Amino acid sequence: MQASCTEEASILVCRVCTVVARQKSSWLRKVHTQKSPGDAWPIVREMIGRSGGCDHTNVEGFTAQMLNDHYAAISTDQHYKESTPKLTVPDQRICITEIEIFRMLVKLRPTATGLDGIPAWFLRLGAPVFAAFIA
């Protein structure tokens, strides 16, 4: 990132933090004056809006598109190269064979039927057929 972009991003971060702190301070003063937690809920609903979503209006001249454009402009690097994984990173490709699935199904203990509604005895008896499809 260029030095001027870094400075611009720092200034923008400070402005956003100031706006958020001001909004939270105002909200907390309203909530603090309430006598019970039940009295605070109308203030919470006011802050988040009746629909439960966030308010998409501008906050002191900021819009989501302005922030998106800014970070898209400073986040480009033509010389970026993806780093190679270290040797200590395990290989995420796991290959399970049909015989391993067969052995797992045959060793199922007779327990209560699970959420799928398939009893363990059915899976044990059908292991020769099911193993290929599961693997």
Q: What is the pLDDT along the chain (135 residues), one digit of tens a residue?
A: 456 667 877 788 888 878 777 776 766 666 666 566 666 677 666 666 654 444 445 566 777 788 788 777 777 777 878 778 777 777 677 788 999 999 999 998 888 788 888 888 998 999 999 899 888
pTM more than 0.75: no
Task: List phi, psi (to 5°) of 8.
Answer: -65, -40
Residue 110: what pLDDT?
Answer: 84
Measured CA to CA, the distance from residue 132 to residue 100 in angstroms comes to: 10
Measured CA to CA, the distance from residue 22 to residue 94 in angstroms comes to: 50
Long-range contact set of residues 108-117: C-beta below 8 Å, sequence gap at least 24: none
